[in-house]
Amino acid sequence: MRNKFSRLIYFEEYVQINGINQYLFHAGTKYDNPVMLFLHGGPGFAESIFSYIFQEKWEEIFTVVHWDQRGAGKTLTKNPNECPTINLMLKDLFEIIQYLKKKYNKQKIIIFGHSWGTILGSMFIKKHPEEVAYYIGVGQVISMFENERVGYEKVKELSLRANDKKSLKELEILGDYPGNNHGIGFKKKSEKLRAVQGKYNLAANGNLSAIISLIKSPIFKLSDITALIKMDKVNKELIEFWSKFDIRSESIEYKVPIYYVLGKNDWQTPYVIAQEYFKKINAPYKKLYLIPDAGHMTMIDQPNLFFDVLIDINYKQKQNKSITIM
């Protein structure tokens, strides 16, 4: 693995976490920078492999650690028969944070959640607020069924406006969407919606350019493709949990600062739902950022604007730790 930018911190490792070897990828420029743990999407979609596209500037102000979760990426490759549950994932996350606190001599770690990672991250900060400096949610999931309903209505509206008969037919085939399915059935149906949403840049697109980006990654191995193919099979129980998730059934009280960074063109986890929920939560400090012309992969779609947000969050944490915004 070539350290293109000669980073002081730049390495991969497997660490014994909760009974199995789990993959971490570290990158940064100073040991005294705050440590940010990136919780990827999915379940099962490791984003460490795409980090080279968007996080070069981040490493100037954070030490960024990517964790390929149980059932994802290089951790799945190492442990092909380990099937995650939400309880296992929360315990894994707790142990990884203990490891990072000791390794970098930190009292607390920043949690950065993307998509599925916002479910895991939001649950963790409720359970262990004492471990977390603050939380950043990108593509924040509030309710999976509500996400699908609102995302479906949006792409249907655009298809009608464009008189796009092919897309309208594909939407009609989905029937009463999202329906009453859970688990894998729900996920397979949602993937058909993503294909239509992708035509209108409303959702993340697994197109040729995404495949090229994957292969160009400095940490890419052929086994990463195999892990992507296997992810649904090993994550069945977690996908069942994910499909039923609704954060609104939990308390709106948070004990750590909360930042939401939302793409104004994200209709995979529709920003309007997260925006509405955010107004209701109570936290020591909270702020929401809306990034124009950015979709579900917000940090890739608008990397410069996204970095500006991270600079602002970093500054606010240094200056406004005692401020409460209701």
Model pLDDT, residue 88: 97
Q: 20-28 and 63-68 as β-strands: parallel, antiparallel, unpaired?
A: antiparallel
CATH class of the domain comprising 9-142+222-319 = alpha beta
H/E run at residue 39: strand 35-39
Question: So where are the chain's domains?
Answer: 9-142+222-319, 146-199
Per the CB < 8 A criterion, the answer to whether 9 and 36 are in contact is no
| Minimum mean pLDDT range among 64-68, 83-87, 209-213, 320-324 | 320-324
Question: What is the average per-residue pLDDT within 68-93?
Answer: 96
DSSP 48: G
Model pLDDT, residue 181: 80
Model pLDDT, residue 324: 38
Per the CB < 8 A criterion, the answer to whether 25 and 52 are in contact is no
**pLDDT digits over 119-143, tens only?**
999 999 999 999 999 999 999 999 9
pLDDT band at 321 (very low <50, low <70, confident <90, very high): low
Of 100, 65, 115, 70, the C-alpha closest to 88 is 70
Of 258, 174, 228, 283, the C-alpha closest to 49 is 228
Q: How far apart are CA 315 and CA 28, in angstroms?
A: 18
Sign of torsion over alpha carbons 180, 182, 186, 188: negative
Per the CB < 8 A criterion, the answer to whether 116 and 89 are in contact is no
Per the CB < 8 A criterion, the answer to whether 151 and 202 are in contact is yes
Residue environment code for 37-68, b if the CB has 16+ CB neighbours within 10 A, otherwise e: bbbbbbbbbbbbbbbbebbeebbebbbbbbbb
